[in-house]
Amino acid sequence: MNPLIQSIGELDRVIHEPGRLMIVALLSAVERTDFLYLQHETGMNKGTLSSHLSRLEEAGYVEIEKTYRGKVPRTLLGLTQAGRSAFEQYRRTLKGAL
């Protein structure tokens, strides 16, 4: 099999989905951010964003912390070390396929 084609097949499927890729790329640039920021930047509705974040959390790539600012609920998000490593590996694999 062509090595370039094979490397594309080795991409992390959790990250490769376009919505999750957008989330991981945004989170890679910050230590932590809140749900509303991600919702604004991605243009996703709450349900879709929540679903993608749940999948990333299940994979161990995203840490979700629910807090309050006064009486207002706030959801903080950040990439775990495993998430950062997986994203770097994803980027290297993708660059190698080009």
What's the CATH code of the domain at 62? 1.10.10.10
Q: Is the pLDDT of residue 74 over 80?
A: yes
Residue 55: predicted pLDDT: 98
pLDDT class for 98, splitting at 50, 70, 90? low
pLDDT class for 62, splitting at 50, 70, 90? very high
Q: What range does the domain containing 70 cover?
A: 3-97
Q: How many structural domains comprise the chain?
A: 1
Residue 11: predicted pLDDT: 87
Q: What is the pTM of this model?
A: 0.90
CB 11 within 8 A of CB 90: yes
> In terms of DSSP bridges, do strands 62-69 and 72-79 run parallel, antiparallel, or are they unpaired?
antiparallel
Residue 70: predicted pLDDT: 94
